[in-house]
Structure 1
């Protein structure tokens, strides 16, 4: 797997480009790792917590949906918690790897369009996403998304290694 890491020494036009590079890198790496696993490995858990790689993919898609569309944009998104059932991540048997990865990629394209069309200091729309607090700036939302992706990609690294798939950066 040869996805180039967005090293801090590579010049960038600004903070927006840096955020987008990292999000794209993490998202693309998640996709590559999930594509490298067998169908059995993406649907079963190798960990005591019980999550599967496909559940992680769906969760990351919904994380972006919740923070960018439902939160920052203040849009109606149907069920913002559609990645959960009974307080757990959930993927139905009819949901395919191809469809879940396509949804993650599409959500990433939406995130990119919103970020490229907004100022990092812009404040999100008021709404339920903020749990009664004032809306966050786009920069704070993006920082949170980078943290989510980095953390979960580390989890996926472990699962991929246990399954004999690709590891590391």
Structure 2
């Protein structure tokens, strides 16, 4: 993979949205989810394609590139497929290759980042058009799934993977925080 110019300016600390201290449930859930999304973006800031694709915590196959792909797929899976019932294909998953999001890094990480951003934008549209009490039909679980449940799940997903991203980033160039 060719060394690509930096994707984001490394000086993005001031651009992360403040989390509210008070607010209704929707405001708290969506604000914290967006904060976690921004945190993840910052973990990827200022790195080359090669660095983003580095598996820096052996023996794990985790990389920031793989996490970008995984989180794009997770956004699509939970908001579009499970909640909204959209008939769209998986991004980086197949029954015969369920870990391709992490294992097959044959695409450009900056293109994967653009896909992730588009999936986040679509997720925000779905959330804006629905009430927390609204339910979709989870075709995987064959049960109703509420928007509230999807938002709580996504908060946990990002919190876990931001921890992974923090360790990966520190091993790549020593950067911590955000």
TM-score, normalised relative to structure 2: 0.81
Matches within 5 A, 1:29-48: 29-47=39-57, 48=59
The whole-number CA distance in structure 1 between the counterparts of 2:82 and 2:97 is 23
**Within-5 A mapping of 1:141-160:** 141-160=150-169
Mark the CA change 1:37 to 1:23 in structure 2 (over 3 Å): closer, same or farther: same
- The answer to whether residue 171 in structure 2 is matched with residue 162 in structure 1 is yes
Alignment of 1:72-151 (within 5 A): 72-78=83-89, 80=90, 82-83=92-93, 86-88=97-99, 89-93=102-106, 95-124=107-136, 126-130=137-141, 132=142, 134-151=143-160
**In the superposition, relative to structure 1, how do residues 81 and 39 fare at CA in structure 2: closer, same or farther (>3 Å)?**
closer
Once the two structures are superposed, what CA deviation does each residue of 1:116-167 show, in whole Å capped at 9, x if it has no partner? 110001111x24232x3x1211001100001000100110001101112532
For residues 149 and 54 of structure 2, the distance between their equivalents in structure 1, rounded to whole angstroms, comes to 34
- Name the CA distance, whole Å, in 1 between partners of 2:133 and 2:174: 40
3-state secondary structure, aligned to 1:120:
coil
Give how far 1:106 is off: 1.0
Query: Number of residues paired by the alignment?
Result: 162
TM superposition score normalised by structure 1: 0.85
Unaligned runs of 5+ in 2: 1-11
Instruction: For 1:21 and 1:7, locate their aligned partners in 2 and report how far apart those are by CA, in whole Å.
Output: 6
